[in-house]
Amino acid sequence: MNRNKAKLKFFPNRFEIIENGDHVICAISGKKIPLQELVYWNVELQEAYFSAEEAKISFEKIKNT
C-alpha cells in the first residue's frame, strides 16, 4: 500500500472513487483501510470503518445522541 489516500462517495452497497488512492482512513480507529478490503461504511455520515467493531461503535454513538 502506498501513501495515496483516496476520496470516496459512499452509496448503499457500493462506493465511487472521487480522488484516486489506495486506501481510506477509518473514522473510529484511524487505521488505514486498503480499498480492496473496504467492507463497512455509513452512507449518511460518509464514513469508512475498518471492521464491524468500529461500525458498531459509530452506530452506538449515533444511537445515544
Categorise residue 50: left if φ over 0, alpha if ψ from -120 to 50, beta otherwise: alpha
pLDDT reported for residue 35: 97
CB 26 within 8 A of CB 49: yes
Q: Where are the beta strands (DSSP E) in 7-65?
A: 7-11, 14-19, 23-25, 32-34, 40-42, 47-49
pLDDT digits (tens, 9 = 90+) for 9-51: 999 999 999 999 999 999 999 999 999 999 999 999 999 999 9
What pTM was computed for the model? 0.90
The set of cell numbers assigned to 44 is: 449518511
Domain ranges across the chain: 7-63
